[in-house]
Amino acid sequence: MTAADEWLLVDALDLEAQGVARNAEGKVVFIEGALPGERVQAHTNRRKNNWEQATLVQIGRESAQRVRPGCPHFGLHAGACGGCKMQHLHGAAQVAIKQRVLEDNLWHLGKVRPEQLLRPVEGPTWGYRYRARLSVRHVVKKGVVLVGFHERKSRYVADMQTCAVLPPHVSAMLLPLRGLIASMDARDRLPQIELAVGDSPAGLVTALVLRHLEPLSADDGARLKAFGAEHGVQWWLQPKGPETVHRLDPDDGPELAYGLPEFGLTMPFKPTDFTQVNHHINRVLVVKALGLLGVRADERVIDWFCGLGNFTLALATQSREVLGIEGSETLVARSRENAVRNGLADRTSFAARNLFEMAAPDLAAYGSAERWLIDPPREGAFALVRALAAVRQQPIEGYQPPQRIVYVSCNPATLARDAGLLVHQAGYRSVAAGAVNMFPHTAHVESIAVFERIDGWTLPPEPVAAPEPVADAVSETDDAA
């Protein structure tokens, strides 16, 4: 057991941004707020046989990478916002740690070491968050309405007056939003506001989706319209599920869209569609992914988990044909609309299917493609790469696996699992991998990896056992992620 006055030497940072040390008994201690290289005292909150969890109490030797947080609501104090976990760590060190997390996961979970480590993809570290889900709570006992992320390790909403990772104009809107909700008849039945900001060439478009559990009164509708006119906001209403989302005023300003100017593309979207949180990083990421994929004008490409066509349409500007496959019928429909909008309908086709249930014959049914782009959710693409491994072991006549695969991941654990299958059973080399700092100041690790088919590859005498599926091996507790 760690004594209250024991000094601990922190030698690492885990994926939850906790310092990692060992106490006098050799037991691992995870310390919230501590950084590598620091000598600290900590208060133990939880004990298990092999580890303890603690909170920083005092620093005897401070890390050179410790910085002043950019937000007054960040910290370990009561009521602190839980949206960010790394504001006390220098930005360059945050990126280095995320790169190390990626490397460690690839090796320890997938037994894969990339031949090349890519330079991390970076961008703005403040005001970057163009999507967010803000909780709303009318606290009757205190007579206030709170709008923001949850408190650290709590179901309560943090008392936020500003937010440094939201766009400045949205941060400045937090207190007015609190006043608006407090004035509404339905203030006790409004649990959530979802933010979506578009950044098309026409300028920023800000949409707020209000979740309401009962019909809004005419007076509440008028209050929303007045607020929207004053703050330049489009209000959308969500009475039930995502399919019920609609504009409060159908004629209220331009559509939401984001641009991919390097490819001459404009991508309209609805406020509840999945789009990347960080639009600047997304633009860089699309350019990076296509450069790594190395598509030629005469080639066919398949974009797995294509969403609303974020990579698909960019690929269509460089290839002969692109097939985008996605599990959501709604997003597939949006992809087709975007292809028509950008004049790429003749080079693209789309299909909706469950990509978590794939087998080798399914791959053959979609046809051969020289190159694949895979961009799955946190669960990864286990069924897809397992089907590819099955094809390698039992070839299907007329079907050729892709020569090159670029895999964009939002979970290093599931990427590592899938990389292990690709390298040890499907006949691919791990060419390169690198971190993508999509969510600065949070513990969220985005990454990109490249795999190249080994011509003439044969099965080893004793094939490596397939890794077990990992549904969500890395917990995500950041509200801001």
Question: Which active-site residues does the annotation give?
Answer: 410
Residue that is written with structure tokens 């990626």 in the block: 102
The token pair that represents 140 in the structure block: 């009757």
306 is in an annotated binding site: no
326 is in an annotated binding site: yes
76 C-beta neighbours (distance < 10 Å), count: 12
Please state the separation of Cα 473 from the chain's center in Å.
Answer: 15
Cβ neighbours for 364, distance < 8 A, ≥ 6 positions apart: 391, 396, 398, 399
| DSSP count for the chain of H helices, then E strands | 10, 21
- CB environment 421-457: b (16+ within 10 A), e (fewer): bbbbbbbbbbbbbbbbbbbbbbbbbbbbbbbbbeeee
DSSP E strand boundaries for 375-463: 404-409, 428-436, 446-453
50 is in an annotated binding site: no
| End-to-end CA separation in angstroms for the chain | 33
| CB-CB contact of 305 with 282 (8 Å) | no
The token pair that represents 32 in the structure block: 């919230």
305 is in an annotated binding site: yes
**Cα gap 126→250, rounded to integer Å:** 32
User: Can you give the length of the chain in residues?
Assistant: 481
Q: Following CA atoms 99, 479, 475, 327 in sequence, which dihedral angle do they give, to the nearest 10 degrees?
A: -90
310 is in an annotated binding site: yes
23 is in an annotated binding site: no
Cα-only R_g, the chain: 24
- CB environment 391-400: b (16+ within 10 A), e (fewer): bbeeeeeeee
Binding-site entries for S-adenosyl-L-methionine: 276, 305, 310, 326, 354, 375
Binding-site residue positions for [4Fe-4S] cluster: 71, 81, 84, 163
